[in-house]
């Protein structure tokens, strides 16, 4: 069978899958009765609702034409997400200042038009600016420097 509305089809499947996962996970929590709702009651209710809503998207998408999913460009997606992960990983060891520098430098790779020199200058500026604003001006308790 041909899928005629790509966007609705996959969107519906995603919601239905999350709904099913919720219902399955909610089984671990006491259901209770309507008068005495347990911790599993409301999530399960929402889970079923989400499955139903997912189906109202997926099923019609087989019969009615609809939108396609716009093309995905992997470069910015992967680089931006990766830069945040790296920031989270190095924060404890490299300290705030260097981590921000790394974050900005890595993140700027997402845009091929930026030259290396521009990226470094930008990262340096952002790291300095962040230290001044968040540490010096706002006085947040940040570990600034590497801790080996």
Q: Where does this chain bind another protein (CB under 8 A)?
A: 7-8, 10-11, 14-15, 18, 22, 25-26, 29-30, 33-39, 42-43, 46-47, 49-50, 53-54, 56-57, 67, 69-70, 72-73, 76-77, 80-81, 83-85, 87-89, 91-92, 100, 103-104, 107-108, 110-111, 113-114, 118-119, 122-123, 126, 130, 134, 138, 140-142
> Are 134 and 140 contacting, i.e. CB atoms less than 8 angstroms apart?
yes
Q: How far is the CB of 113 from another protein (least distance, A)?
A: 5
Q: Identify the burial level of 1 via C-beta atoms within 10 angstroms of its C-beta, where 0-12 means exposed, 13-18 middle and 19 or more buried.
A: exposed
Of 1 and 105, the one with the shorter C-beta distance to another protein is 105
Report the distance separating Cα 17 and Cα 23, nearest Å: 10
> Are 144 and 92 contacting, i.e. CB atoms less than 8 angstroms apart?
no
Beta bridge partners of 37: 32
Rg of the chain over all Cα atoms, to the nearest angstrom: 24
Structure tokens at 133: 């604003």
Q: How far is the CB of 2 from another protein (least distance, A)?
A: 19
Q: How far is the CB of 11 from another protein (least distance, A)?
A: 4
Of 1 and 141, the one with the shorter C-beta distance to another protein is 141
Of 62 and 114, the one with the shorter C-beta distance to another protein is 114
Please name the residue ranges forming H helices in 29-148.
41-58, 74-108, 116-130
Of 3 and 18, the one with the shorter C-beta distance to another protein is 18
Q: How far is the CB of 138 from another protein (least distance, A)?
A: 7
């Amino acid at each position: 069978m041909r899928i005629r509305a790509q966007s609705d089809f996959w969107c519906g499947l995603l919601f239905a899958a999350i709904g099913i996962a919720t219902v399955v996970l909610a089984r671990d929590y006491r259901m209770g009765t309507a008068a005495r709702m347990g911790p599993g009651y409301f999530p399960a209710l929402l889970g079923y609702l989400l499955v139903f809503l997912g189906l109202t998207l997926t099923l019609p998408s087989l019969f009615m034409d609809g939108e396609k999913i716009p093309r995905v460009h992997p470069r910015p997606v992967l680089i931006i997400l990766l830069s945040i992960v790296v920031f989270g990983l190095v924060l404890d060891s490299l300290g705030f200042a260097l981590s921000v520098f790394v974050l900005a430098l890595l993140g700027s790779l997402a845009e091929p038009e930026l030259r290396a020199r521009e990226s470094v200058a930008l990262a340096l500026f952002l790291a300095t600016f962040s230290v001044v604003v968040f540490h010096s001006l706002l006085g947040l308790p940040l570990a600034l420097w590497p801790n080996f």
